Amino acid sequence: MRLSGPDDVSVRSCPGGPDLVRGATLVVDDDGVQHEVTRPVVAICRCDRSSRMPWCDSTHKAVRPR
């Protein structure tokens, strides 16, 4: 996974949840597919179970009940 943007890209991991990414305009996944960022902040999946990769879809709540 590669994050790119015109300015600084910041990443913060949420406990038991996704990475919150600010400042990225493009997310390139491990297969080289580019995903355009359309929100001021995006959540990147960390559990690999999202059905909308690379974006978090909250599936982790079902996999790892809090």
- Does position 61 interact with other proteins (CB under 8 A)? The reply is yes
Chain-centroid distance, C-alpha 24: 10
Beta strands in the chain (DSSP E): 2-4, 10-13, 19-22, 26-28, 34-36, 41-44
Cβ 25 vs Cβ 42: under 8 Å? no
Q: Which of 1, 14, 26, 33 binds other proteins (CB under 8 A)?
A: 14
Q: How many residues bind other proteins (CB under 8 A)?
A: 21
Determine if 18 is a binding residue for other proteins (CB under 8 A).
Answer: yes
2 near other proteins, rule: CB under 8 A: no
Closest to other proteins by CB, 3 or 56: 56
